[in-house]
Amino acid sequence: MKTVLSIQSHVAYGYVGNRAAVFPLQRLGIDAVAVNTVQFSNHTGYGAWTGQVFTAEHIADVVDGVAARGVLPRCDAVLSGYMGDVGLGQVIVETAARVKAANPQAIYCCDPVMGDVGRGFFVRPGLPDFIKTHAVPAADLLTPNQFELEYLADHPIHTLDDALAATAALRARGPRLVLVTSLTRQDAAADRIEMLVDDTDGAWLVSTPRLALEPSPNGSGDAVAALFLAHYLKGFDPAEALEQAAAAIYAIFETTRRMGTRELQLIAAQDDFVNPPRRFAATRLR
């Protein structure tokens, strides 16, 4: 059994961060060790929430306790999401290095949670620059959305060529694989949404229908990163992992729309994201 150390946010109500990542990992047969960077009542998309961001010292203490149980050498990957602040980000990057030192085969999958199209940045000042200069070079897999990709690569994205230039720029800085979890471009149909994976062996694009979800549920990027990582760790090549992740998140979206909620319906859709009823083929770009 593969094991992932997932360091992300936590909410009591709803599905973002670890709440959107841990269950999909477990349902797909991956053991998840969850370290929570925050504990909020709900995700910030509601506009009001309670709770707190944990200190860097708190997270380091929890990681030390996990390490004392001999867990780090058994971790196959570290998955990080919302970091909270720069100090906490430093602890996460250092933890990824500790895991890779304990298990040289382990990988670091960084979901560079910073912002989104239409919302802009929603993290504390200094964190975007930290992610760009420290987390990106440390990552093996990077899973930005389109807004984050544009910022990290310093490259606006209007076309598919723009997206490929941006992912190539990021791969040149360290990560061997970049997964763009949501791509909307001018040279594609308006009723479709895409995901793109670019690694050293090639690049692939998958397209799915754009479902009407109002308001758009938070946490989809967190879930996609976990779904892709799970299949990647299970031995799927990047194109196959992309197809599996796209089919799974589409099934989750369909269930969420049917149930008329703004929260991802991971529990209701669990059988469908393990065995998606609809598949989408990835197209090789290079």
| Binding site, annotated residues for substrate | 9, 222
Instruction: Give the bridge partners for 38, in sequence order.
Output: 53
Q: On the CB side of 212, how many CA atoms lie within 13 Å of its CA?
A: 0
Burial 122-147 (b: 16+ CB within 10 A, else e): ebeeebbebbbebbbebbbbbbbbbb
Q: Binding site membership: which residues?
A: 9, 111, 148, 222
Grouping H, G, I as helix, E, B as strand and the rest as coil, residue 28 is coil
Q: Could you tell me if 250 and 276 are in contact, meaning their C-beta atoms sit under 8 angstroms apart?
A: yes
d(CA 104, CA 92): 17
Strands across the sheet containing 3-11: 51-53, 31-40, 3-11, 77-80, 107-110, 141-142, 177-183, 192-199, 202-209, 283-284
Q: Binding site membership for ATP: which residues?
A: 111, 148
